[in-house]
Amino acid sequence: MLNLVFFGKPGAGKGTQAAIIKEKFNLVHLSTGDLFRYNMKNDTPLGQLAKSYIDAGNLVPDQVTIDMLEDAVLKNKDAKGFIFDGFPRTDAQAEALDELMKRLQMKIDATIALEADDDILVERLLNRGLTSGRSDDQDESKIRNRFDEYTAKTAPLRSFYTEQSKFHEIQGVGSVDEITSRILTVIESL
């Protein structure tokens, strides 16, 4: 079983690379954003709970997200592994994910951090915003604010996973194939 966590600022290529790695290794890609949308759209008990926090203007507690992830993992018992995308974002979430993995007799094998210069990422996102319809991809100040959020909250996870010898920084600039090759080199070394 192969379990990976993908990190990177918006526009770093996580979604593109996750799709490729998912296919190559027959993994299940678990995006927390997708899980939230699915659960709320389908009015599941977890979706209702998450919506109650959001509607009240509060952040959804980590435990609700962990419960959604656990539900998704259990629904895919025959999976050869998982790519976690968008979670964890804090040390507390990383600890909760490790506990979930331990409870399910699994482990995170590696974290892949796609890195690129902010100016390159801004350009990518502004270009994506021309066709995506996402308002947060059409305003440079909003994009840079998202980068600041990532740096403040998610970047510290580097230490958490480095201490476990699971942190791998990948240069996220170049052709899609070049970046995929870098990721495959990490996976082959596990």
Do the Cβ atoms of 143 and 9 come closer than 8 Å?
no
Would you call 89 a catalytic residue per the annotation? yes
**Active-site entry in 128, 142, 144, 166:** 128
Positive or negative torsion for Cα 61, 77, 158, 86:
negative
- Identified catalytic residue from 22, 51, 142, 146: 146
From 9, 89, 124, 182, active-site residue: 89
Residue 134 known to be catalytic = yes
CA–CA separation, 49 and 52 (whole Å): 5
* Displacement of CA 50 from its chain's centroid (Å): 18
146 a catalytic residue? yes
Place of tokens 């909760």: 96
Question: Is residue 128 annotated as a catalytic residue, yes or no?
Answer: yes
Which secondary structure element, helix H or strand E, spans residue 36, and what is its range?
helix 32-41
3-state DSSP assignment of residue 62: helix
Contact criterion met (CB below 8 Å) for 11 and 125: yes
Q: Cite the active site residues.
A: 14, 89, 128, 134, 146
